[in-house]
């Protein structure tokens, strides 16, 4: 399946009052190469394996395949992942017909908050909440696969 997503920095924590869902995410990478990402994720009590292809030229669209796996399987597979686990709180906020997924990073990426919105087409319009900052779609340094190796707190 092709996934179309735009990503933004978040400038305040006001989104937390609007969230209808919150869960902890821990994830690692069996491959962090952006041409063939293989991600193992524990989201709350659920496990997932996800494969992502290379983003297109604008960085908005990429192939994504995902399967749910058991929590025990995800825990075993996380042990095999490259060094550098991503740990974050995931908030979900309704925004008109869309949902923002907002990641408040923890650990070595603490201080970084990023919002993603999934769209049906690259140019689909959506409402911009007051807490939405600069767009970072396609900026490799904000990829989770990069944050696992080059965490936010080591930038600059």
Q: Is 38 among the residues that bind a copy of itself (CB under 8 A)?
A: yes
Q: Is 150 among the residues that bind a copy of itself (CB under 8 A)?
A: no
Q: Which two tokens stand for residue 76?
A: 């075993």
Longest CA–CA separation in the chain, Å: 41
Residue 17: CB partners within 8 Å, gap ≥ 6? Answer: none
Q: Is 2 among the residues that bind a copy of itself (CB under 8 A)?
A: no
The only residue of 4, 49, 99, 106 in contact with a copy of itself, by rule CB under 8 A = 49
- Cβ 25 vs Cβ 87: under 8 Å: yes
The only residue of 20, 45, 57, 67 in contact with a copy of itself, by rule CB under 8 A = 67
Residue 125: CB partners within 8 Å, gap ≥ 6? Answer: none
Catalog residues that contact a copy of itself under the rule CB under 8 A: 30-31, 35-36, 38, 49, 51, 53-54, 63, 65, 67, 69, 73, 76-77, 79-82
């Amino acid at each position: 399946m092709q996934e179309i997503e735009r990503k933004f920095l978040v400038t305040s924590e006001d989104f937390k009052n609007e969230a209808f869902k919150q869960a902890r995410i821990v994830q690692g990478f069996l491959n962090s190469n952006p041409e063939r990402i293989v991600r193992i994720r524990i989201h709350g009590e659920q496990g997932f394996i996800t494969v992502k292809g290379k983003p297109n030229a604008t960085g908005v669209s990429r192939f994504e395949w995902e399967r749910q796996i058991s929590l025990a399987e995800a825990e075993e597979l996380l042990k095999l992942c490259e060094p550098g686990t991503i740990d974050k709180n995931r908030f979900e906020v309704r925004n008109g017909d869309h949902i923002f997924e907002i990641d408040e990073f923890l650990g070595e990426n603490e201080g970084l908050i990023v919002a993603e919105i999934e769209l049906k087409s690259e140019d689909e319009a959506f409402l911009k909440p007051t807490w939405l900052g600069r767009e970072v779609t396609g900026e490799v340094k904000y990829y989770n696969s990069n944050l696992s190796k080059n965490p936010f707190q080591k930038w600059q």
